[in-house]
Amino acid sequence: MNAFYRFFIIIALLVAAIFSYSLGSQTGMFIFVILGFVLEGAFWFGLFPFKRSK
């Protein structure tokens, strides 16, 4: 995967997670907090991918 696209996707995941946390906090809907947690997890797993050992 191109480094630019990887960087763009990682930043988009982080922004979406922050937005979901904010929306969940303002509206009190716990589903947005859970969505933010999932998006943040995707951000961290995308930032530090698993390395396969041979």
> Average pLDDT for consecutive 10-residue bins of the chain (54 residues)?
82 90 86 87 78 74
What pLDDT shows up at residue 33? Answer: 87
Closest CA to 38 of 13, 11, 8, 9: 13
pTM of the model: 0.72
- 41 near 10, Cβ under 8 Å? no
Q: Which residues make Cβ contacts (< 8 Å) with residue 32, sequence separation at least 6?
A: 20, 21, 23, 24
CB 20 within 8 A of CB 33: yes
pLDDT at res. 39: 86
